[in-house]
Amino acid sequence: MKEMDRKRRNKEDITPISKTREWKLLYYEHGRPGLEDSSEYRGLCRHCELCATCTLPKSEGGVWHCKYYIAGAKKTSFYENVLKQLEKAEDVVHFDRDICKILAATMNEFVVHFPVKMDDGGLKVMTGYRIQHNNALGPYKGGLRFHPSVDIDEVRALATLMTWKSAITNIPFGGAKGGIQLDPADFSSNEMERIARRFTFALGNNIGPEYDIPAPDVNTNPQIMAWILDTYLSTVTPNERNRCLHVVTGKPIESGGSKGRNKATGQGVVFLIDKWANDHGFNLKGATYIVQGFGNVGSWTSRLMKEKGSKLIAVEDVTGTIFNSEGIDPDDLANYVKNHGGVLDYPNAKPIDHETFFSTKADIFIPAALENQITAETAPLLNVKLVAEGANSPTDLNGDIILQRKKIDVIPDILCNSGGVIVSYFEWLQNKRSEFWELDEVDNKLHKKIINAYEKVHDTAEKFRVDWRTAAQVVAISRLESVYKERGIFP
């Protein structure tokens, strides 16, 4: 069956170069004589490296290259990037094409328009999104983002990544994401509360503790989760209320949140960096790192890296970019950001520009802001050994090819920032069981789960001789494929 699928796919997508060398057909859009026997080029995107250095004549319609090579081509959208990564994994393992078709689509998409009263007595009609990508493994799960860049494409992409994340970490959740296109700087705290509450009300029963469970993401926080919880509880009957605490995770601890959830994503990033360092005989004490984004993920990762003895030397956020070769104290900076809203004008560092930030020589780069930051323009500037992706999809396809070419290790997003959803799962479990776990219990369980996922990705990368991003994707899709195969498709 797989063989048939593969042939069908080849016929559709790829011009064959040799009937006897089937493996090649998977990798090339255009045949090129002379390289078929070279195992050096066996693998996805090897040709992209070749394209950059190739001295052989180009074919008439342009260069010939692996189908994932897109440098110089139009910029792909965030969602297209995510789907391309799925395709890449599909080609490595030859997953069932029909199951991949299911996974390439979102299951439900809600777009809600709702009115919100402003402080000045006026009214604004806002637009919110909730996209449920897949629930084969359990209830839909994923954060809510309030940001000017939020649109349906972005939310689809983020929802899809959530499915992979739950699958890779072996937790019983599916994937979803939501958001509202807004700039929080334009609204007072009271207005933000009314926006969060009206959005929750507009979503109605399309979220729920056993159905779809939101959590914090960019510009949303435990306070916003508490408002969402309170609004949701107000819409269910009184005798159900205490059974619905787990409708959101990332709540304040007093409102049913879990110890360790606030730092969980950063904690997971640091557990993985530590594991990578151990595996590579690299000493984190005295190592240097730079961080993009100093919100929840960036600041917690930085503060926990400090405990490892590593030195933060440059930070970029939406307000500015700062550098100090002697080191920036993450706790002091976190305090400053709390009071000033960003890193701009932080007194114990000097301002630098965006390009200088990306060119800063350091051991580790932790992107912890938005998607598509490591690109064809910025990846060539990077001078680091490891990129640990705290953010979702910070690297676009071009950026990824360049990182591989530069032999920079990457702990990919769906593994690297999965600490958040893992501890969200722990919070959900504690709420369901009316339990409160101590911090060391949460941390130990997080460590076990995330290192287990790391090892699976490591072994898969070795087995298929692929990069870690593809390997992570393969681990996730394998789990989903097994579930679909076991259950079949109704009817």
Residues involved in catalysis: 177
Closer to ligand NAD by CB, 214 or 390: give it.
390
| Smallest separation, CB 441 to ligand NAD (Å) | 19
CB of 358 to ligand NAD, least distance (A): 11
Minimum distance, C-beta of residue 164 to ligand NAD, in the bound complex (Å)? 12
Pairing mode of beta strands 386-388, 409-411: parallel
Residue whose Cβ sits closest to ligand NAD: 295
> Contact at 8 Å (CB) between 416 and 392?
no
Smallest distance from ligand NAD to CB 301, Å = 9
Torsions phi, psi for 351 (to 5 deg)? -75, 145
Q: Which amino acid is at 266?
A: G
Could you tell me the two tokens for 83? Answer: 């789907």
SS3 139: coil
Q: Based on CB atoms, which residue is closest to ligand NAD, 32 or 469?
A: 469
Bridge partners (DSSP) listed for residue 350: 323
The residue type at 283: N
Integer angstrom CA distances of residue 194 from 112, 114, 198, 241, 249: 15, 11, 6, 21, 20
Which residue, 217 or 427, has its beta carbon nearer to ligand NAD?
217
The Cα–Cα gap between 297 and 302 comes to 8
Neighbours of 108 (CB within 10 A): 14
Q: Which amino acid belongs to residue 367?
A: P
Count other Cβ atoms within 10 Å, centred on residue 308.
16
Nearer to ligand NAD, 314 or 369 (CB): 369
Q: How far is the CB of 478 from ligand NAD (least distance, A)?
A: 22
Q: How many CB atoms lie within 10 A of CB 414?
A: 30
Answer for the pair 100, 86: CB distance below 8 angstroms, yes or no.
Answer: yes
Kindly tell me which of 139 and 268 has the beta carbon lying closer to ligand NAD: 268
Burial 139-161 (b: 16+ CB within 10 A, else e): bbbbbbbbbeebbbebbbbbbbb
Q: Cβ of residue 417: shortest distance to ligand NAD, in angstroms?
A: 4
| Residue 200 in tokens | 């929750």
Instruction: Give the span between the Cα atoms of 120 and 339, in whole angstroms.
Output: 26
Nearer to ligand NAD, 217 or 396 (CB): 217
**Contacting positions for ligand NAD (CB under 6 A):** 216-219, 265, 292-298, 316-318, 342, 368-370, 390-392, 417, 420
Rounded CA separation 103/99 (Å): 6
Q: How many residues in total does the chain contain?
A: 491
**Amino acid making up residue 286:** G
Provide the minimum distance between the beta carbon of 39 and ligand NAD in the complex, in angstroms, as a whole number: 37
**CB closer to ligand NAD, 389 vs 409:** 389
- Closest listed residue to residue 337, CA positions, set 322, 325, 327: 322
Q: How far is CA 252 from CA 16, 148, 248, 369, 393, in A?
A: 57, 25, 11, 23, 27
Measured from the CB of residue 162, what is the shortest distance to ligand NAD in angstroms?
9
- Residue 44 or 362: the one with the smaller Cβ distance to ligand NAD is 362
Angle, alpha carbons 295-299-300 (nearest 5°): 115
